[in-house]
């Protein structure tokens, strides 16, 4: 099996999953077929759309016979050359992709969870059957970031990738930053606007971001790492007050996915982070995504765009379909040899050995000696304080507790986590310490 199948004049494709993105892809394929023909020199025909629900009305008129529920009949149709997987989640998406590959079809998918979880299996299967998997839409929707990493930036050794990859979290943080919205209201608003799922847990707890980060790290650094092993912190513990203090210190708060090369290996983590106001990532608002890549030759390159949504994601999916038909995907797929468990991965740094600055918010009893105790714990672990804020209480009726903000100089992560454990045992501490990272 090779490239020759795409010398045909008409390419038949099938779509699995007829939700929001699927409808977007179908819209472009049916309403703008000329565009795809112009880009490929071939007619691309969407012959089947498989979904378990084919009765709900979608925002598009389809020729009769296109909708079906019997995926197996599509896998076994030798006329269909490309399967577009837009079901999302792990199963049946995984099985469907494997069946497509086994049946000699190339795959285009927007499924970051699937790639992050089963990359090794899926890519090995594609290689075994001489097929390809394209997945630009899995990370940052319409932003052509995987394409840039796979092709144009290949002459670089990368130093870091810093990215805002979860639009829901970024929308929530943007709303809270405006000062008028609580975390809870911002989540509700994100749901109302269709950014957040009914259950937004995987968006706000960093799961979605960490899955995308491992994909970026595979492409940018050759990191073959399970997403579960990457430290992640979500945005749930952030409060309006943190935005005020961040602003006072010259920062904004973003949920950053970070891959950074250092002497001890690759640091990978997802964390709410104070980002300096003049960093372009600080200005990414609402549901936008953005990626900042630093390479040894190119310097800093910054990409921003819509990371989700029907048409931006469909734009990436169809870009992949075009690349697959033209054979660009095959070249890239075979050269990069991604998710090859036989290939040595870059060394991944143990989280305890990360170095970085932190922002710590304490709720403490307003009594003499508290600061002395806190600084004693930090100093004992070799953590030095960079700045401190304590305002007079706004709420005059509650003079027993106060909020204390500390930022630290660069400290070893293991020491910082140990410090937080010890600090939370101090009798003067009221509740958990909120810890954010700080980046210049």
What does the alpha-carbon distance between residue 267 and residue 351 come to, in Å, rounded to a whole number? Answer: 7
Tell me how many degrees the CA angle 222-228-231 measures, rounded to the nearest 5. Answer: 85
CB atoms within 10 A of CB 392: 7
In the complex, minimum distance from the CB of residue 391 to a copy of itself, in angstroms, rounded to a whole number: 30
Contact with a copy of itself (CB under 8 A) among 26, 148, 190, 428: 148
H or E element, residue 266: strand 265-276
Give CA separation, 224 vs 59, 116, 119, 133, 160, in Å: 40, 10, 9, 17, 16
Quote the least distance from Cβ 274 to a copy of itself, whole Å: 19
Q: Which of 130, 265, 280, 393 contacts a copy of itself by CB under 8 A?
A: 280
Nearer to a copy of itself, 41 or 379 (CB): 41
Tokens of 285: 């608002």
Choose one: 141-149, 178-186, 375-383, 429-437; the region binding a copy of itself (CB under 8 A). Answer: 141-149
The label of the residue with tokens 């299967």 reads 125
CB atoms inside a 10 Å sphere around CB 402: 19
Nearer to a copy of itself, 311 or 386 (CB): 311
Long-range contact list for 1-8, CB < 8 A, 24+ apart?
Answer: 1/104, 1/129, 1/130, 1/131, 2/130, 3/327, 3/330, 5/81, 6/42, 6/81, 6/324, 6/325, 6/326, 6/327, 8/42, 8/81
152 lines the binding site for a copy of itself (CB under 8 A):
yes
Interface with a copy of itself, residue 244, by CB under 8 A: no
Angle at 386 between CA 383 and CA 392, to 5 degrees: 115
CA distances from 9 to 94, 326, 398, 413 (A): 30, 12, 75, 57
Take residue 14 and report the two structure tokens written for it: 């099938």
* 37 belongs to the binding site for a copy of itself (CB under 8 A): no
Interface residue with a copy of itself among 17, 83, 119, 142 (CB under 8 A) is: 142
Among 244, 247, 283, 409, binds a copy of itself (CB under 8 A): 283
Decide: is 130 part of the binding site for a copy of itself (CB under 8 A).
no
Residue 92 preceded by cis peptide, ω within 30: yes
256 binds a copy of itself (CB under 8 A): no
CA dihedral 65, 68, 74, 76 (to 10 degrees): -100
Of 12, 48, 105, 212, the active-site residue reads 212
Q: Could you tell me which stretch among 39-47, 58-66, 182-190, 193-201 binds a copy of itself (CB under 8 A)?
A: 39-47
Q: How far is the CB of 343 from a copy of itself (least distance, A)?
A: 11
Residue recorded with tokens 């979290």: 169
125 binds a copy of itself (CB under 8 A): no
In this complex, which beta carbon is closest to a copy of itself, that of residue 85 or of residue 323?
323
Q: Does 335 contact a copy of itself by CB under 8 A?
A: yes
* Residue 261 C-beta: closest distance to a copy of itself, Å: 14
Distance, C-alpha 192 to centroid of its chain: 21
Interface with a copy of itself, residue 22, by CB under 8 A: no
Asked whether 326 and 40 are in contact (CB, 8 A), the reply is yes
Count of residues that bind a copy of itself according to CB under 8 A: 52
Cα 45 to Cα 35: distance, rounded to the nearest angstrom: 12
Residue 400 binding a copy of itself, by CB under 8 A? no
In the list 20, 43, 103, 156, the residue contacting a copy of itself (rule: CB under 8 A) is 156
119, 319, 339, 439: which one contacts a copy of itself (CB under 8 A)? 319
C-beta closer to a copy of itself: residue 152 or 421: 152
- Residue 314 sits in the site that holds a copy of itself (CB under 8 A): yes
Site string for a copy of itself, 292-311 (x = CB under 8 A): ---xxxxxxxxxxxx--x-x
Q: Is 112 a catalytic residue?
A: no
State how far the alpha carbon of 232 is from the alpha carbons of 48, 272, 351, in Å: 39, 9, 10
Which residues does the annotation mark as catalytic? Answer: 212
Q: Name the residues that contact a copy of itself, by CB under 8 A.
A: 24, 28, 32, 35-36, 39-41, 136, 142-144, 147-148, 151-157, 280, 283, 295-306, 309, 311-312, 314-316, 318-319, 321-323, 326-328, 331-332, 335
């Amino acid at each position: 099996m090779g490239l020759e199948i795409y010398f045909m004049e008409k390419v038949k494709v099938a779509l699995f999953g007829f939700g929001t993105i699927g409808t977007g892809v179908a819209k472009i394929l049916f309403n703008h077929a000329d565009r795809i023909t112009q880009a490929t020199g071939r007619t691309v025909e969407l012959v089947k759309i498989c979904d378990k629900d084919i009765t709900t009305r979608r925002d598009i008129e389809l020729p009769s016979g296109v909708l079906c529920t019997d995926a197996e009949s599509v896998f076994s149709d030798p006329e269909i050359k490309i399967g577009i997987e837009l079901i999302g989640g792990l199963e049946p998406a995984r099985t469907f992709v494997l069946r497509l590959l086994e049946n000699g079809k190339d795959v285009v998918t927007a499924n970051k969870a699937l790639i992050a979880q089963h990359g090794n299996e899926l890519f090995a299967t594609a290689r075994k059957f001489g097929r390809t998997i394209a997945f630009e839409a899995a990370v940052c929707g319409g932003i052509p970031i995987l394409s840039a990493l796979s092709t144009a930036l290949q002459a670089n050794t990368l130093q870091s990738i810093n990215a805002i990859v979860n639009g829901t979290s970024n929308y929530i943080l943007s709303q809270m930053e405006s000062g008028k919205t609580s975390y809870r209201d911002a989540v509700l608003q994100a749901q109302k606007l269709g950014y957040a799922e009914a259950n937004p847990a995987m968006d706000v707890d960093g799961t979605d971001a960490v899955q995308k980060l491992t994909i970026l790290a595979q492409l940018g650094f050759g990191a073959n790492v399970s997403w579960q092993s990457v430290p992640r912190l979500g945005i749930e513990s952030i409060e309006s007050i943190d935005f005020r203090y961040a602003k006072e210190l010259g920062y904004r708060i973003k949920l950053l996915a970070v891959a950074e090369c250092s002497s001890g290996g690759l640091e990978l983590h997802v964390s709410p982070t104070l980002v300096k106001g003049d960093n372009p990532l600080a200005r990414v608002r609402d549901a936008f995504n953005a990626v900042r890549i630093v390479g040894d030759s190119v310097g800093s390159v910054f990409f921003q765009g819509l990371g989700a949504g029907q048409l931006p994601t469909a734009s990436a999916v169809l870009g992949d379909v075009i690349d697959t038909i033209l054979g660009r995907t095959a070249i890239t797929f075979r050269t990069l040899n991604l998710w090859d468990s036989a290939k040595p991965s870059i060394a991944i740094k143990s989280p305890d050995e990360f170095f970085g600055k932190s922002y710590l918010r304490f709720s403490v009893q307003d009594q003499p000696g508290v600061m002395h105790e806190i600084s004693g714990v930090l100093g004992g672990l070799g953590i030095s304080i960079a700045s401190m804020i304590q305002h007079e209480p706004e709420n005059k009726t509650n003079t027993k507790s106060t909020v204390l903000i500390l930022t630290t100089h660069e400290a070893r992560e293991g020491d910082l986590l140990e410090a937080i454990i010890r600090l939370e045992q101090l009798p003067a501490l009221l509740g958990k310490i909120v810890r954010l990272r700080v980046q210049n």
